[in-house]
Amino acid sequence: VPTVLEGDNGCLPHVLQRVKNQGFAVIVVAEGAGEELLGESTETDASGNKKLPMIGEFMREKIVDYFRDNGEVATVKYIDPSYMIRSIPANASDSLYCMQLAQNAVHGAMAGYTGFSVGLCNNKMVLLPIPQLVATSPRMMKSNGRTWERVLALTRQPNTVEE
């Protein structure tokens, strides 16, 4: 689903109207969203993972600029929870789940399997072939699918997808 900032169904006019009506708006942006606006990065982080565009900072700047251009003032509180979430201590359930994932990964490797990931499916630990796992991963959401319709219904945002 493309990120549409301006226009009749754009995100920015919707945010401005929401703030005028309610006095505030909460905006949640998925990590990796906005590649069509910011371009795909060829850089990698220290772990070798592809760096994703900084959509949160980009949106913060666009919102402030849009409000200013429309004679309004925006106070934007930008929170990037990625490191806050990763920095909390694991509870007992987290520790047990991680132990089970690790044990099953070792069992798979000791059995001679390669190219797999371990996961929980129907309350059973399973070995998942990475090629099939990646091939069916919902990196892109169907713009006319049920999940997108649920997002629109729950957030009450305008549909930016052209029919």
92-140 tens-digit pLDDT: 998 899 999 999 999 999 999 988 899 998 999 999 988 887 776 666 6
Res 109: pLDDT: 92
Amino acid of residue 100: Q
- 11-23 pLDDT per residue, tens: 888 889 889 998 8
> What token pair was written down for 3?
């990120």
Amino acid 138: pLDDT: 62
**Residue 65 confidence class, pLDDT cut points 50, 70, 90:** very high
Query: How many CB atoms neighbour CB 110 within 10 A?
Result: 8
Average pLDDT over residues 83-98: 78
Looking at residue 100, its pLDDT comes to 94
What is residue 86's predicted lDDT score, i.e. its pLDDT?
62
